[in-house]
C-alpha cells in the first residue's frame, strides 16, 4: 500500500520531469561520478551520509541490490521503475538505468528523491506512508524547508533602496553557513551601487534547480514575477517589503534579520497559493500560454472602446458581456485589481476563482465566484482592440475570434511567513480596518 502511494503521488512528478533519453548508469561497480552524464548531479545532492541516505548510497557505489535488500521488493522495484529501470545481468548483477537530466528540472526532482530516502533512513518501507502524508503535489513540504542550505535573493531590479538591505542579508546568510545565490538581473542592477561580486549570480532556472528557498526583496510586483518564474520548481518564497502595501511581502525591512533567525531555525508559517494556467488560441492553434498568481485580465486596448466576449464555464454558456473587460482573479489576486473593481476578498484557502466585470454595459452583470476546478473560456466576439494581461506584467494583443482558456494550474506557490502570521491581521493592517479617522 505504501509503495502504491509513492507511485501515485511522487512517481507522477518524476515521470513528468525526466526525459527518457540516452541513459547514465548507476551500479554496484561504479561510483557517484557516473552522474557526470547528468551534469554533475552528485556534487550537490547525492552525498552518502553515514549510510542513512539510501539513494546517495547507490550513487556512491552501493548498487541496486542493497536497495532491494533494504526495502520490500515490490516497493524497491516500483521506485526503480519510476526513477529509471532495473537491468539484471545473467550473473545476477543489477544496475539502475536513469534517464538523462531534462533541462534543470530533473536535478531538483532527484534532490527530492534524495530527501525522501534521507527521511526514511534505515526504517522499513511501510513508514513511507507517514512521510507521504506530509508530501502533497500542491504542498512541497520537504526537510530542506527546516534546514535551508542554499538561498536565492531576488530584488526589485531598478530600486537602489534595497541595495544595502540585500548586501546585508547576503552577508548574514553567509555567516549562518548558507550558500547564497543572487538572481542575475538583481545583481546587474543593484551591483552598480554595492559590491555583490563575492556571491554566485544565476538566472531563475538555476535558482529553481538548486535553491531550497528564495527571498524576495521588493513589492508585490517583484514577488509576482519571481512566483511565475519559480512556480514549476516548487521553490518556497519569503517576501521582504521594500514597496508600498505589500500584501505578499509581509516582512518589514526593520524586522528582516530577526525574521531570518526564525526562518533558519525552522520557525515559520507555511501557506500555499494557487495559480492560474492560461492558454490563448487563434484559429484553433495555441499562440501563447502563461501562469498568473494574481489575475488574468481581458480588457480594451488603446482605442478605449468596449469589447464584447462570451463566457463559458465547463463548456456551458454563461453570458455575452459588453464591458471594458473581465478580471479572472485567484484568492491571492482578490486583494489586487479585483478588489479595486468591486470584487470580493477571498481567503487564500478558498477553493474559488472570482470573475469580476469591468464597467459592464448592463449593470446586472455582477462579480461571481466559481469553483477552482472550473474550466473558464473567454471568446472574443467583437473587439477592434483587446488585450490579455497576466499579473499585469505580460501582455498579448487579441483579435476577434481568439479564445482565452483558464484553469487552476498544477503548480502552486509556497509562501513562508514569520511566526504568528495571520491573514486577517495582515488585511487589518494593510487596509486599515478598525482604525479611527484622524482627529477623532
Annotated catalytic residues are: 220
Contacts of 429 (CB under 8 A, 6+ apart): none
What string of H, E and C letters represents the secondary structure of 47-99? CCCCCCCHHHHHHCCCCHHHHHHHCCHHHHHHHHHHHEEEEECCCCCEEEEEE
* Half-sphere exposure in the Cβ direction for 213 (13 Å, CA): 29
As a whole number of angstroms, the distance between CA 116 and CA 84 comes to: 17
- CA nearest to 251, candidates 261, 262, 238, 240: 240
In 3-state terms, what secondary structure has residue 327?
A: strand
- CA nearest to 119, candidates 85, 152, 145, 84: 145
Kindly provide the residue ranges of all beta strands, DSSP E only, lying in 166-324, ordered along the sequence.
Answer: 179-183, 200-202, 213-218, 237-241, 251-252, 269-282, 285-292, 295-300, 307-313, 316-323
DSSP state of 139: B
- CA nearest to 310, candidates 326, 287, 295: 326
Decide: 9 and 135 in contact? Cβ < 8 Å.
yes
As a whole number of angstroms, the distance between CA 154 and CA 182 comes to: 6
Kindly provide the residue ranges of all beta strands, DSSP E only, lying in 207-300, ordered along the sequence.
Answer: 213-218, 237-241, 251-252, 269-282, 285-292, 295-300
CA separation (Å) from 324 to 123, 147, 310, 348? 60, 48, 13, 27
Phi-psi sector, 291: left (phi>0), alpha (psi -120 to 50), beta: beta
The three grid cell numbers given for residue 417, joined into one nine-digit string: 511567513
Amino acid at each position: 500500500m505504501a509503495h502504491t502511494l509513492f507511485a501515485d503521488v511522487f512517481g507522477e512528478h518524476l515521470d513528468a520531469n525526466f526525459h527518457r533519453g540516452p541513459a547514465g548508469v548507476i551500479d554496484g561497480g561504479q561510483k557517484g561520478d557516473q552522474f557526470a552524464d547528468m551534469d554533475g548531479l552528485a556534487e550537490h545532492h547525492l552525498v552518502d551520509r553515514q549510510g542513512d541516505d539510501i539513494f546517495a548510497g547507490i550513487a556512491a557505489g552501493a548498487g541496486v541490490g542493497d536497495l532491494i535488500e533494504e526495502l520490500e521488493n515490490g516497493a524497491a522495484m516500483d521506485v526503480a521503475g519510476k526513477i529509471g529501470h532495473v537491468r539484471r545481468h545473467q550473473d545476477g548483477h543489477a544496475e539502475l538505468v536513469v534517464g538523462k537530466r531534462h533541462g534543470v528540472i530533473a536535478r531538483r526532482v532527484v534532490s527530492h528523491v534524495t530527501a525522501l530516502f534521507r527521511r526514511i533512513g534505515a526504517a522499513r518501507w511501510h513508514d513511507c506512508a507517514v512521510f507521504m502524508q506530509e508530501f502533497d503535489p500542491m504542498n512541497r513540504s520537504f526537510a530542506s524547508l527546516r534546514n535551508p542550505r542554499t538561498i536565492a535573493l531576488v530584488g526589485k531590479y531598478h530600486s537602489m533602496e534595497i541595495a544595502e538591505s540585500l548586501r546585508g542579508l547576503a552577508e548574514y546568510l553567509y555567516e549562518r553557513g548558507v550558500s547564497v545565490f543572487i538572481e542575475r538581473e538583481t545583481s546587474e542592477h543593484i551591483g552598480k551601487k554595492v559590491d555583490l561580486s563575492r556571491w554566485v549570480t544565476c538566472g531563475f532556472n538555476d535558482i529553481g534547480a538548486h535553491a531550497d528557498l528564495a527571498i524576495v526583496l521588493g513589492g508585490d510586483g517583484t514577488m509576482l514575477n519571481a512566483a511565475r518564474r519559480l512556480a514549476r520548481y516548487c521553490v518556497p518564497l519569503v517576501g521582504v517589503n521594500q514597496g508600498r502595501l505589500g500584501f505578499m511581502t509581509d516582512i518589514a525591512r526593520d524586522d528582516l534579520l530577526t525574521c531570518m533567525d526564525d526562518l533558519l531555525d525552522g520557525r515559520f508559517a507555511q501557506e500555499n497559493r494557487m495559480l492560474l494556467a492560461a492558454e490563448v488560441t487563434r484559429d484553433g492553434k495555441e499562440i501563447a500560454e502563461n501562469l498568473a498568481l494574481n489575475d488574468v485580465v481581458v480588457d480594451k486596448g488603446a482605442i478605449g472602446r468596449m469589447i464584447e466576449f462570451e463566457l463559458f464555464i465547463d463548456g456551458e454558456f454563461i453570458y455575452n458581456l459588453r464591458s471594458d473587460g473581465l478580471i479572472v482573479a485567484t484568492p491571492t489576486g482578490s486583494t489586487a485589481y479585483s478588489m479595486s473593481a468591486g470584487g470580493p476578498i477571498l481567503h487564500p484557502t478558498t477553493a474559488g476563482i472570482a470573475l469580476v466585470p469591468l464597467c459592464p454595459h448592463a449593470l446586472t452583470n455582477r462579480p461571481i465566484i466559481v469553483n477552482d476546478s472550473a474550466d473558464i473560456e473567454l471568446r472574443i466576439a467583437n473587439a477592434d482592440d483587446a488585450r490579455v494581461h497576466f499579473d499585469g506584467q505580460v501582455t498579448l494583443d487579441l483579435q476577434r475570434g481568439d479564445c482565452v482558456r483558464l484553469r487552476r494550474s498544477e503548480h502552486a506557490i509556497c509562501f513562508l511567513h514569520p511566526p504568528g502570521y495571520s491573514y486577517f491581521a495582515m488585511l487589518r493592517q494593510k487596509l486599515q480596518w478598525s482604525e479611527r479617522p484622524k482627529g477623532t
